[in-house]
Amino acid sequence: MPKRDLISIEDLSRADVELILDTAESFLPVLERDIKKVPTLRGRTIINLFWEASTRTSSSFDLAAKRLSADTLALKASGSAVEKGETLKDTAITLSAYSPDIIVMRHPSAGACQTLSANTEASVINAGDGKHQHPTQCLLDLFSMRQNLGRDLSGLRVFIIGDILHSRVARSDIMGFRMLGMDVTLVGPPTLMPRGIEEMGVKVEYDLANLKDADVIYLLRIQKERIKAGANFLPSLREYSELYGISQARLRPGQRVMHPGPINRGVEIAADVADDHENLIAHQVFSGLAVRMAILYRTIVGYSDSAASGEVL
């Protein structure tokens, strides 16, 4: 079986996506047991390479691998040979000597996963590369939506609000949401809206006038560096919050708020929304574990139906 990478949502067919979500669902009972571990990937080796800060993605990948009984190895840029100037190609060759089955990588540069994949026999899973893609975030978002809003997500109206220009999450989510038939609207300041993004099949708006039409409101983190002098993406966080921040007053009953985290209270999300149990933010974190277990599992055993998850559990 040739190795299978997950670098972009575009690497998956709709059937693949649904299989991952079904597999994740089948792992849920494992996570409720006293002994939260199955022997499924015993003897397999999974390396986590995080060249960029991460809390939830790196911890959930690590825990997911351990829940499946795989051996894991975690590497960060600081304290590694990267600080001595080793290239990614050479890191890939070095780590490949341990014959890993999967290398999970987060990297600040788009294209890093392709470089890694070209130099290792291991399957590469993208845990975020520059502003390019974050496919596992998209899959866990889809899982949270399916668990909370019903299995058929087609026709669901999603507003993605914030810094689309710099967001790898937005790009993966747009592809995944569109793939499952959702109606996607992007909202944000024109300075943070990529020129030509409409060609991904989305609507673009610069204000919240139509927010009432949304079933799901997906908020993106606003980075403080966007207001640095000279950048001129935003005049101030205060004005951003005024124009685009989501508080309970702006929501109608039944609208569900999502956020990939970490959140900026008082900027893109008001405390009353962040603390409201109706939001799906904590569920997204929870989903991260089951979905990443499913992704690791499918990457190793394959995406065919004959490798149905139930039989192996």
Partner 1 sequence: MERTWSKGGPAADLLIKGGRVVDPEAGIDASQDVLVTKGKVTELGKELKPGKNTRVVDARGMLVLPGFVDLHTHFRTPGREDEEDLATATAAAAAGGYVAAFGMANTDPVVDTASILRGLAETARAEAAIPIGFFAAVTRGLAGEQLTEMGELGAAGAVGFSDDGRPLATAALTRRALQYVKVSGRFVAVHAQDDSLFKGGQMHEGAVSARLGLTGIPSLCESLDVSRTLDVAEYENAAVHICHVSTAASLVAIERAKAAGVRVTAEVTPHHLTLNDEAIAALDANFKMNPPLRAESDRKALVAALQSGLLDCVATDHAPHAAEEKDVPFEEAPFGCIGLETAFSVLYGALLVSKALDLATLVTRMSTAPARIAGLQAPSVRPGAVANLCVVDPKAKWTVTAGGLQSRSCNSPWLGHELSARVKLTLAAGRLAWEDLA
Considering only the stretches 21-29, 105-113, 140-148, 266-274, report the one whose residues sit in contact with partner 1 under the rule CB under 8 A: 105-113
> Which of 16, 71, 178, 194 contacts partner 1 by CB under 8 A?
194
The least distance separating partner 1 from the CB of residue 250, rounded to whole angstroms, comes to 27
Alpha-carbon distance of 146 to 33, in angstroms, equals 22
Count of chain residues binding partner 1 (CB under 8 A) = 26
The least distance separating partner 1 from the CB of residue 167, rounded to whole angstroms, comes to 8
> Which of 54, 130, 250, 263 contacts partner 1 by CB under 8 A?
130
The least distance separating partner 1 from the CB of residue 170, rounded to whole angstroms, comes to 9
The least distance separating partner 1 from the CB of residue 197, rounded to whole angstroms, comes to 4
The footprint of partner 1 on residues 58-87 (CB under 8 A) is: 87
The least distance separating partner 1 from the CB of residue 110, rounded to whole angstroms, comes to 5
Nearer to partner 1, 37 or 228 (CB): 228
Considering only the stretches 15-23, 77-85, 112-120, 275-283, report the one whose residues sit in contact with partner 1 under the rule CB under 8 A: 112-120
Pseudo-torsion of CA 284, 43, 120, 67, nearest 10°? 10
The footprint of partner 1 on residues 152-191 (CB under 8 A) is: 167-168, 171
Alpha-carbon distance of 195 to 133, in angstroms, equals 18
> Which of 29, 85, 150, 196 contacts partner 1 by CB under 8 A?
196
The least distance separating partner 1 from the CB of residue 271, rounded to whole angstroms, comes to 30
Alpha-carbon distance of 281 to 261, in angstroms, equals 8
The footprint of partner 1 on residues 224-253 (CB under 8 A) is: none
313 lies in the binding site for partner 1 (CB under 8 A): no
133 lies in the binding site for partner 1 (CB under 8 A): yes
CB burial class (10 A; 0-12, 13-18, 19+) of residue 43? exposed
Ramachandran region, residue 78 (left: φ > 0; alpha: ψ -120 to 50; beta: rest): beta
110 lies in the binding site for partner 1 (CB under 8 A): yes
| Strand stretches in 97-163, DSSP E | 102-107, 123-129, 157-161
The least distance separating partner 1 from the CB of residue 222, rounded to whole angstroms, comes to 17
Pseudo-torsion of CA 13, 26, 102, 284, nearest 10°? 80
Closest CA to 141 of 173, 174, 185: 173
The least distance separating partner 1 from the CB of residue 151, rounded to whole angstroms, comes to 28
Q: What is the DSSP string of 28-75?
A: HHHHHSSS----TTTT-EEEEEESS--SHHHHHHHHHHHHTT-EEEEE
107 lies in the binding site for partner 1 (CB under 8 A): yes
H or E, element range at 174: helix 168-179
How far, CA to CA in Å, does 22 sit from each of 18, 19, 143, 163, 304? 6, 5, 9, 31, 13
Closest CA to 182 of 223, 142, 237, 224: 142
Nearer to partner 1, 131 or 298 (CB): 131
Question: Which residues here bind partner 1, judged by CB under 8 A?
Answer: 87-89, 107-112, 114-115, 129-133, 167-168, 171, 194-200
